[in-house]
Amino acid sequence: MIDQSSAIDLCRSVMMIAILLAAPVMIVATVVGLLTGILQTLFQVQDQSISFVPKLIACTIVVVACMPWMFSRLIEFTQQTFLGSGF
């Protein structure tokens, strides 16, 4: 049985690892979206679907580039969770 403080620590750890793993993709998507928005404003293009393709390409590149790091962090977190729970 898990006590309340351990459950809270586990939930906090899960939230932190989720934020840490999502941060690179979210930052790149925000920056690319901002840049495409600025370019659309400069060239007076009103099409909303134009910003989708650059964000999709940039996020795909970031996910592929960060995949080994993401998997190593997830494996490390899983090992620490199972070792800490006594399994």
Model confidence band, residue 84 (pLDDT cutoffs 50, 70, 90): confident
26 vs 44: which has the higher pLDDT: 26
Question: Can you read off the two tokens belonging to residue 30?
Answer: 């925000």
Model confidence band, residue 86 (pLDDT cutoffs 50, 70, 90): low
Beta carbons of 43 and 12 less than 8 angstroms apart: no
- What Rg do the C-alpha atoms of the chain give, in angstroms? 19
Q: Is 2 helix (H, G, I), strand (E, B) or coil?
A: coil
Residue 48 predicted with pLDDT over 70: yes
At residue 7's C-alpha, the angle toward residues 66 and 72, to 5°, is 20
Give the per-residue pLDDT at 7: 87
Q: Round to whole Å and give the CA distance between 17 and 52.
A: 27
Question: Can you read off the two tokens belonging to residue 72?
Answer: 């190593």
Domain coordinates of the chain in residue numbers?
4-73
Whether the full predicted model's pTM is greater than 0.95, yes or no, is no
